[in-house]
Amino acid sequence: MTTEQRDETAESNGGHRPWFRRNPALNLTYRIGVGVVGGLVLVAGILMIPYPGPGWLVVFAGLAILATEFAWAGRLLRFAKRYYDGWVAWLKRQNLFVKALVLTATGLVVVVTCWVLGAFALVGGWFGLEWPWLGSPIFGSGG
C-alpha cells in the first residue's frame, strides 16, 4: 500500500494521519514519536523473549507500532512472524524429550538471570539466609 492509498483510506475512515502529513514539522514529530514508542516496546519485548510470558507478543506489538510509519518494520514483522510460526510448528513435531530440553533451557535462563540480578539474595535475606552463593556475581551481596 502506497502512502497515498493509506492516506485515502485513513481519510475515508476519519483518520488523523493525513492531517499530520500536511505539516512537515508535525509529520516529523509524529514519525519520531512512533519510532521512539515502537522502539521502546520492541526492545522491551526482545529482553523478555527468553523468559516465560509475552516476550514475542511484545516484540510483534513493537514491530506493528513501527510498521504504521516505516515500511522496513512491516517487512521485518512479516519475516519474524513467519519464523516464529515455523519454530512453534517445529517444536510441536518434536518428541517429549526435546520439548523438555527446551523447557529446561528456558528455566535455566530464568534461574541464571535471577541469580545475576541478585533476586535470590534478596529473597534469602527476607528469611534470614545470608549464604554467600546466593549473592549476585555482578552486584555482590547487596549489603
Domain boundaries, the chain: 1-93, 95-143
Average pLDDT, integer, range 47-51: 85
Residues 116-135 pLDDT 10s: 888 888 888 899 888 888 88
Higher pLDDT, 40 or 22: 40
> CA Rg, the chain, in Å?
22
Contact 34, 9 (CB under 8 A): no
Contact 50, 109 (CB under 8 A): yes
pLDDT at 105: 92
Contact 73, 67 (CB under 8 A): yes
Residues 23-35 pLDDT 10s: 888 889 999 999 9
pLDDT at 8: 57
pLDDT at 4: 55
pLDDT at 114: 87
Average pLDDT, integer, range 81-108: 94
DSSP letters along 8-51, please? HHHHHTT-SHHHHHHSHHHHHHHHHHHHHHHHHHHHHHHHHTTS
